[in-house]
Amino acid sequence: MVNKTVLSMILTASVVGVAEAQTKLVEQVTRKGDELVIPYTKYKLANGLTLIVHEDHSDPVVHVDVTYHVGSAREEVGKSGFAHFFEHMMFQGSDNVADEEHFKIVSESGGTLNGTTNRDRTNYYETVPSNQLETALWLEADRMGFLLDAVTQPKFEVQRETVKNERGQNYDNRPYGLVYEMTSKNLYPYGHPYSWTTIGYIEDLNRVNVNDLKNFFLRWYGPNNATLTVGGDVKPADVVKLAEKYFGSIPAGPAVENMKPAPAKLSEDRYVSYEDNVRFPMLRMTFPTPEAGHKDEPALDVLAEVLGQGKTSIFYKNFVKEQKAMQASVYNSTSELAGEFGISVVAYPNMKLSETEALARQSIAEFEKRGVTDEDLQRFKAQAESSLINRMASVSGKVSQLAYYETFRNNPNYIQEEIKRIQSVTKEDVQRVYNQYIKGKNAVILSVVPKGKTELLAKADDYTISKDGFKPAADEYSGLKYTKAVDTFNRSQRPSSGANPVVAVPNYYTSNFKNGLKLIGTKSDEIPTVTMQLSIKGGHRLESNNPGKAGVANLTADMLNEDTQNYTSEQFSNELDKLGSSIRIGSGTDETYVIVQSLKKNLDKTLALVEERLFRPKFTQEDFDRLKKQQLEAIANQATQPTAIANNVYNKLLYGEGNIMAIPTSGTSETVENITLADVKNFYNNYYSPSVTEMVVVGDISEKELMGKLNFLKNWKKKDVKLPVAAKTPSIDKTRIYFVDKPDAAQSEIRIGYMAMPFDATGEYYKAGLMNYALGGAFNSRINLNLREDKGYTYGARSYFSGGQFAGPFTASAGVRADASAESVTEFMKELTNFHKSGISEDEVKFMKSSIGQADARKYETPYQKAGFLGRILEYNLSKDYVKKQTDILNNITKKDIDALAAKNLPVNNMHIVVVGDKKTVLPKLEALAYDVVELDTDGNPIGSSSVK
């Protein structure tokens, strides 16, 4: 049982302000034995702020999270998007933190940060080295108590444009991006807190002013509506002292009451639709269900899994397996006020969604005959346990869990209740919720069809949103006053950080098997899991032996996820899910990868399934035909997506005709059409070999214990695999713009770059990465500050080097507003040219060294981070002290060195510029720039005439 002590001690702060604050120690939770619990201490400050501290000294890092119990549900009709908008404004400076300094301070402290908004809460967080705890708390407190005078009209306007760009990138310009918005506004009554999405409507963003936004902050962002959660390499007493110092004097805001659950109610089915720039019609059925935390939630989760999650599900069998759809899934999604039971089917082109709906209803009805089995419950419970454990892999994961439970359950230790709820679900519960919420019940039925293909609708629209019965919410915003804290210390002085923590590079062991397989591993017992990664070298590059069948590596990997000699894919999936394990096989540019995740207690059974999957594939014609069809459809679909078009055209220009890297890893329609089942078998038989395989193991297992479990890999027969060498890439005689038309695109995709160099951990590649940090690698880089923060052209812009064993490109990229496409190209090239000619500033050198130098504390925390680190050592044959060598390079590199790297590695007169966007909007302004413009089709082939300067 959890040791939970409830205390009523009063702690007195001595540094908090004009009146001494009192902090109440509420409870302390510790772990006993192997129980699943996150230990913490909970406090309440006098101003209502809840403080939770989790102590964990396994890594020298600290995660700080401030969760405000306000999301888009607190907004008003006509003023949507405020909570999310404020997420942006909270990074724009406060009284004691200058504009754009929040990101810079955390970055140069070696940390990472962000913020997120959903319907019900907004959170802001930093992960920093433990010596930067005070800085993180100072930053968060300053924007909680000293923000509004820094919220100026110019900042407001720039961030309004940034939010519009985010909406364009993630909603308007993304396939199916408006599905959630369309569902929400038709599922809930007009004015319901969930009837709009967190991003808000453009017309609302255009309508609001800076004072509206300030009032929203004053109403909801007080300390009494917030939870401060701190976890990691800290002592609770120290955190309390700092929290009292920086947060204790901030006045409480207006009282906040929890909103009451308000699930949707439908008197009949509602058919709605919209046309989108997509290839596949989509059907989305949404049934109202109860809110998060309701007693029926776990049973509805089981029902969703049985109906449409994984290969054992009814929808997979009836839709995907029978080639009636590309994808089919069912989920139960819950929020604070309501839940939604959603069914999504992405059908094949020209499929009538009326037929899709009919089959969906048949599949729902099939549940009644099938029922719920003991194995269904076993699968659900095992996966839920595994998920909860894996969330504890990082201090950020544990802090996020504590913050969520406190905000919505008023109990940071709700994980114990969660486990009970999961373990107590019965077959009768699942049958009951099916009858109560799904069987014969009404739904919103949304059809998304390709433009001009309304004949594919499930049914003509029959629902119009009505404002009948809508009553505006009571005024929450009159009489609000901005009162700042009064302190006895100088808040404008940034806290000192002390010495950097000592970071221990993971100790590891290596082994070379007789068959050539190389292994590297490390023991990590923070959570009872084991992570394994096998990398079989070759991947897409091996297709250079037969480029007419490009895509075969990808198809082979997909086939390995299907039937084996002893299991159908459904049976295999069932066995895995019962263990709470996962085995994923995929293929990329340079490798085929096998990623294995298992609880320690189930490792033997999981490894038996790895052996089955890797060495006993069945390769049936039926599986092959289905997967080949899906791959061909996915390739065709890329022609509808500006991001995919830009990447494919850019790679074709970089690598040139005849180079396998000029072809996407999925292949082309022509090459995949050529692939047969025999080709897949040959690729597997010829190229899957231990002689080109590297294995990484991280987890709660010793080297000795592990080696006794790997005989199936030691006995893997070696084959003679010759890996390809890099083909020569074409030179670039001068910088040109290559333009691809994407009619009516709301945004343009930009790629700028050239073929640079291969990876080198301690050579010019590493040094070029240091050079690029200030140019386009950090949030506060020149490129991002210019295009996003200063101009409002984009949601984000960056530049990077991406070499591997072979040379890779330097790329600068962004998705930008269509009407600012030419201007964005100009600004990109201006920043690249200035850096090429004039180099870096001394301040930027200092920032880069501080940021990268202190980031080591975050590098080795999670199993996946450790695996990535070890994998690089193996792949590039790095010495044990390579991290120290990198540190020496970082410490000793000078402005002169970086200027020389910029002059050499930013050939601004010899780069490709690719722009994918709406021709009528974008092309005339591009042609006015001082570059030749070449028009290409979506496959990268020249068309029409070029504009030559």
At the topology level, CATH places domain 270-390+410-456 in Cytochrome Bc1 Complex; Chain A, domain 1 (3.30.830)
Q: Is the pLDDT of residue 221 over 80?
A: yes
Residue 609 pLDDT: 98
Taking the C-alpha atoms of residue 551 and residue 547, their distance in angstroms, rounded to an integer, is: 9
At residue 160, the pLDDT reads: 86
Give the per-residue pLDDT at 945. Answer: 60
Backbone angles phi, psi at 256, to 5 degrees: -125, 125
Place 546 in a pLDDT band, splitting at 50, 70 and 90. very high
Q: Are 921 and 651 in contact (CB under 8 A)?
A: no
**Phi, psi (rounded to 5 degrees) for 676:** -115, 170
Mean pLDDT calculated for residue range 501-507: 82
pLDDT at 3 over 70: no
Is the pLDDT assigned to residue 172 strictly greater than 90?
A: no
Helix or strand or coil: residue 44? strand
Flag whether pLDDT at 115 surpasses 60. yes
The two three-digit tokens of residue 721, written as one number: 């695999």
Q: Which CATH number fits domain 509-714: 3.30.830.10, 3.20.20.70, 1.10.8.590, 3.100.10.20?
A: 3.30.830.10
Model confidence at 615: pLDDT above 90: yes
133-145 and 101-108 are packed helices; what angle lies between their axes, rounded to 10 degrees?
170
Residue 948 in this model has a pLDDT that exceeds 80: no
pLDDT on residue 949: 67
- Which listed CATH number (3.40.47.40, 3.30.830.10, 3.30.70.330, 3.30.200.20) goes with 736-936? 3.30.830.10
Q: Please choose, from the candidates 218, 95, 216, 205, the residue with its C-alpha nearest in 3D space to the C-alpha of residue 159.
A: 205
**Res. 12: pLDDT tops 50:** no
Q: What share of the chain is helix, strand, coil (3-state, %, to 5)?
A: 45, 20, 35
**pTM of this prediction?**
0.90
Cross-strand pairs, 912: 736, 753
pLDDT tens-digit map of 757-790: 999 999 999 999 999 999 999 999 999 999 999 9
Question: Boundaries of CATH 3.30.830.10 in the chain?
Answer: 48-247, 270-390+410-456, 509-714, 736-936
Give the Cα separation of 18 and 24 in Å (integer).
19
Average pLDDT estimate for 144-167: 89
Each residue's pLDDT tens digit, 829-869: 999 999 999 999 999 999 999 999 888 878 888 888 889 99
Does residue 626 carry a pLDDT above 70? yes
pLDDT tens, residue by residue, 312-352: 999 999 999 999 999 999 999 999 999 999 999 999 999 99
48-247: CATH homologous superfamily?
Answer: Metalloenzyme, LuxS/M16 peptidase-like (3.30.830.10)
Cβ count near 232 (within 10 Å) = 29
What pLDDT was estimated at residue 39? 95
Report residue 1's pLDDT band, with 50, 70 and 90 as the boundaries. very low
Per-residue pLDDT tens for 810-821? 999 999 999 999
- In the chain, the percentage of residues whose pLDDT exceeds 90 is 84
* Tokens representing residue 555 in the block: 């198809």
